[in-house]
Amino acid sequence: MVIRNSGKRILKSIFILAVVSRPFFSSGFLPPNTCNRYHLCPLSSPLSKHSNCEQRHGQQIHHHAAVTATTLHLVPEILASLAVGFAGWLYIDGADARDRNRMREEEEIRIEEIQAERARLAYIEPKEYWSEAELAPYDGSRDEEGPILLAADGLVFNVYKGRNFYLPGSEYHIFAGRDATRLLARNKLEEETEEEAKKPLNIAERAYLATWMYTFKGKYDIVGKLDEFDLQTTAM
């Protein structure tokens, strides 16, 4: 059976409580002592001396009964004090965990609020078709907090969630605000030459484009299609 750390602490505390309280239970139920085992009445002593021994023995029994009654009377009070102390210790011991949970919840709320505000600022109304000219203003250079659009394999994506990759000066800025299909397929971060642009995409390049599309569809919002895009140029 697996016991969590908090459970282990509680069990350990219960064990300590049991050990501490054990003397109070045991002393209350021990049988009364007889005469001191080393104080024996001589057999040859007179009857009066023997009576004195019995008297002393009676005094010991009476004394032990008084101690036992006192002990039994104090046990509930002692246990109550220990229980209160134990409960207080548990509360203090859990204070750090409660503070950490509260801080984590507050941080999660703060992140959700930031993401919601970012989505609001970067929202753009989807439409059925976009021309390449309409994509150009949304390359992140005019509004860093606004939408960032790119087209790939005939679909238009709002890639604002990855703005750090697509803003001016970033690694993938060349893809933003345009049809990036061929650059993505050929894994190029610079413009094609005229000679390269005339060559159709080969099977390996089309497969590479498909991996990009898988990532984009799972991460970014589709806001429409690219007008007049020929799907045959990228079909497998």
Per residue in 130-183, pLDDT (tens digit) is 999 999 999 999 999 999 999 999 999 999 999 999 999 999 999 999 999 999
User: Per CATH, is 124-233 categorized as 3.10.120.10?
Assistant: yes
Tell me the per-residue pLDDT of 55-108, one tens digit each, with 9 for 90 and over.
555 555 555 555 555 554 556 667 777 777 767 766 676 777 888 888 999 899
All structural domains of the chain with their residue ranges: 5-93, 124-233
Is 0.75 topped by the overall pTM? no
Evaluate if residue 214 carries a pLDDT over 90. yes
> What pLDDT does residue 60 have?
54
Give the integer Cα–Cα distance in Å for 114 and 110.
6
